[in-house]
């Protein structure tokens, strides 16, 4: 017996169209993630598009994101991307309600975009093509298959009921969704899996013992002098943390040198090891911001390595390259002036965490990280300024990047209500490689009163401070300034982060009650 279908139109319902678009694009991303996890984690189509977006984003927008979201800037970007992709996928389905070609074109265009951004990546390798190619093969195929199934559900073939066709269409859609989700999860797990010989497997080589912290290193109301590793700020361009095999990692030192060097991690760890405290500051840190941390870094002095290589006359910068293609340009004179510029493989007594550059990163006290803090470093070219332009200098940032002398009020916080009378004010100050000698606090624009300083543990580390002030009931404004070892007082001139770091004096409004 022949069953007459209840609907004869070949178009999709709105819901069916949206599901078709979502599954087409979602399966493409899932396939790309799975293949990337197996072959090359950095080639995930979703992340390569995000990386290209980061590279092309105007500087004002990047600073807005960092200022607004802080260390959650990458999460905000990825969330925004997911929403945009979801909207495009839904649109691809909706424009294909009557025929699949328009929606298929959208899905293919998205796949081609991922392919092009993969090829444009600074650290592109041919193996990186496998993930976007897989996405290009799977996404359109799934889109067409689901589209056809929903069309058949609306216009069953002879001998098939509409209910059976709908069940088959829903079964295909549901199965595709489950498989895609499983593939995406597997891909993420593979990409995030620990590298062989990762941080947990490496004990630090012996270094000269460091003195114990004096009791006044931190003061009541200030953060701990030694920032816990889990709380150390992280700002970089990597949407996916590079996973580097420590056993196969090498560092090449070349360019304007007398002897080119290629070192393994074992070679580096076999050298004279030091452990030194260094305060690092992000150039995007606003006045009074929290993108500053202090840690004990373990590694080898970069100046010793360069002396062995032999720097040629006329060399001006170290162009350092990360495994993901990011570059920094560090002035040669700063690295060789006697400060503890390091190739660090340890942090706070343990191997360097993956998110902070495992297995090796550069750390240069006194410079913002954008000119000196190359994580996952794999190459150092000794060169001139004119011969190579690093990542951030290409985007208008200054080439030198010395950290500005700054101070911050941590207690009380802005907008706080405090009891009238004697009020404790405490905070943090820093002038890496300059050192802090004085911190002063002013109330309501009045005279500056000197604060008690915490222990001085070296010019390259921050210094805590504390004082007490008298506040009558009402609204008040607290302001702080620091003085470094050269006698230079922190400037009151306000400047945004671009091009070489924010300046000004941290101001906190409070209400005494």
Q: CA geometry: angle at 361 spanning 393 and 366, to 5°?
A: 60
More confident: 156 or 222: 222
Q: CA geometry: angle at 456 spanning 410 and 285, to 5°?
A: 40
| pLDDT value at residue 3 | 30
3-state secondary structure 266-308: HHHHCCCCEEEEEEEECCCCCCCCCCEEEEEEEEEEHHHHHHH
Of the candidates 378, 301, 312, 371, the residue with the CA atom closest to the CA atom of residue 338: 301
Query: Which residues, 6 or more positions from 304, have their beta carbon under 8 angstroms from its beta carbon?
Result: 271, 272
Q: In which residue are the tokens 């293919």 written?
A: 108
Q: Which uninterrupted H or E stretch holds 19?
A: helix 14-39
| Contact between residue 107 and residue 28 where contact means Cβ atoms under 8 Å apart | yes
CATH class of segment(s) 229-395: alpha beta
**In 118-270, which ranges are E strands?**
250-255, 261-264
Out of 55-69, 162-176, 251-265, 354-368, pick the least confident. Answer: 55-69
Q: Which segment, 48-57, 206-215, 398-407, is predicted with the most confidence on average?
A: 398-407
| pLDDT value at residue 1 | 30
pLDDT, tens digit, 9 for 90 and up, residues 2-15: 333 334 345 788 99
Using alpha carbons, list the distances in angstroms from residue 258 to 223, 255, 329, 354, 386.
46, 9, 20, 33, 20
Q: How confident is the model at residue 159 (pLDDT cuts 50, 70, 90)?
A: low
- CA–CA dist 154, 162 (Å, integer): 7
Kindly state the average pLDDT of the residues 469-480. 96
| pLDDT value at residue 5 | 33
Using alpha carbons, list the distances in angstroms from residue 122 to 43, 61, 119, 128.
12, 22, 8, 12
Kindly state the average pLDDT of the residues 15-24. 94
Percent of the chain's residues with pLDDT above 90: 74
Kindly state the average pLDDT of the residues 199-214. 82
Kindly state the average pLDDT of the residues 71-95. 89
Secondary structure letter of residue 151 according to DSSP: H
- CA–CA dist 382, 380 (Å, integer): 6
Domain ranges of the chain: 14-192, 229-395, 406-512
Q: Is the dihedral of CA 462, 467, 473, 476 positive or negative?
A: negative
Query: Which residues, 6 or more positions from 482, have their beta carbon under 8 angstroms from its beta carbon?
Result: 405, 406, 407, 429, 430, 431, 436, 438, 439, 440, 489, 490
| pLDDT value at residue 7 | 40
Kindly state the average pLDDT of the residues 230-247. 88
| pLDDT value at residue 242 | 87
Of the candidates 501, 467, 497, 470, the residue with the CA atom closest to the CA atom of residue 481: 467
Kindly state the average pLDDT of the residues 388-414. 94
| pLDDT value at residue 160 | 63
Selected from 2.40.10.220, 1.25.40.10, 2.60.40.650, 1.20.1740.10, the CATH number assigned to the domain covering 406-512 reads 2.60.40.650
Of the candidates 29, 270, 11, the residue with the CA atom closest to the CA atom of residue 147: 11
Mean pLDDT for the chain overall: 91
Q: In the predicted model, is pLDDT for residue 376 greater than 90?
A: yes
Show the tokens assigned to 343. 């190739």
pLDDT, tens digit, 9 for 90 and up, residues 263-319: 999 999 999 999 999 999 999 999 999 999 999 999 999 999 999 999 999 999 999
Query: Which residues, 6 or more positions from 363, have their beta carbon under 8 angstroms from its beta carbon?
Result: 278, 280, 297, 299, 341, 342, 344, 372, 373
């Amino acid at each position: 017996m022949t069953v007459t279908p209840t609907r004869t139109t070949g178009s999709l319902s709105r819901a069916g169209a949206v599901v078709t678009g979502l599954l087409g694009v979602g399966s493409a991303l899932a396939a790309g993630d799975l293949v990337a996890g197996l072959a090359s984690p950095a080639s995930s189509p979703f992340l390569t598009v995000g990386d290209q977006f980061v590279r092309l984003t105007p500087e004002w927008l990047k600073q807005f994101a960092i200022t607004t979201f802080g260390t959650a800037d990458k999460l905000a970007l990825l969330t925004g991307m997911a929403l945009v992709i979801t909207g495009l996928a839904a649109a691809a389905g909706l424009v294909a309600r009557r025929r699949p070609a328009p929606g298929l074109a959208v899905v293919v265009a998205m796949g081609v975009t991922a392919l092009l951004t993969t090829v444009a990546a600074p650290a592109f390798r041919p193996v990186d093509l496998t993930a976007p190619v897989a996405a290009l093969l799977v996404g359109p195929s799934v889109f067409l298959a689901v589209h056809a199934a929903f069309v058949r559900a609306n216009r069953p073939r002879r001998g098939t009921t509409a209910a059976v066709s709908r069940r088959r269409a829903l079964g295909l859609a549901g199965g595709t969704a489950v498989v895609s989700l499983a593939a995406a999860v597997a891909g993420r797990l593979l990409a995030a899996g620990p590298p062989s010989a990762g941080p947990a497997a490496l004990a630090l080589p012996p270094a000269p013992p460091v003195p114990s912290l004096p009791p006044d290193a931190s003061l009541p109301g200030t953060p701990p002098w030694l920032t816990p590793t889990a709380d150390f700020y992280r700002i970089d361009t990597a949407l996916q943390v590079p996973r580097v095999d420590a056993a196969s990692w090498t560092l090449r030192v070349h360019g304007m040198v007398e002897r080119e060097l290629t070192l393994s991690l074992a070679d580096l760890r076999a050298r004279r090891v030091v452990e030194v405290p260094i305060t690092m500051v992000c150039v995007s840190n606003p006045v009074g911001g929290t993108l500053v941390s202090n840690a004990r870094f373990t590694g080898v002095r970069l100046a010793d390595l360069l002396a062995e290589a032999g720097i040629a006359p006329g060399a001006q910068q170290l162009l350092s390259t990360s495994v993901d293609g990011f570059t920094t340009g560090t002035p040669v004179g700063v690295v060789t002036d006697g400060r503890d510029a390091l190739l660090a493989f340890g942090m706070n007594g343990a191997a360097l965490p993956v998110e902070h550059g495992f297995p090796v990163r550069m750390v240069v006290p006194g410079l913002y990280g954008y000119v000196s803090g190359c994580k996952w470093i794999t190459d150092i070219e000794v060169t001139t300024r004119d011969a190579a332009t690093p990542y951030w200098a290409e985007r208008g940032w200054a080439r030198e990047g010395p950290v500005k002398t700054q101070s911050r009020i941590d207690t009380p916080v802005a907008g706080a209500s405090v009891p009238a009378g004697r009020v404790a004010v405490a905070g943090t100050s820093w002038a890496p490689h300059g050192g802090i000698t004085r911190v002063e606090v002013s109330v309501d624009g009045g005279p500056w009163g000197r604060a008690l300083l915490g222990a001085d543990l070296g010019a390259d580390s921050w210094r805590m401070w504390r004082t007490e002030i008298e506040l009558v009931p009402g609204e008040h404004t607290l302001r702080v300034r620091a003085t470094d070892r050269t006698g230079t007082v922190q400037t009151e001139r306000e400047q945004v982060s671009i091009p070489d770091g924010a300046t000004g004096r941290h101001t906190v409004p409070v209400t005494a009650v």
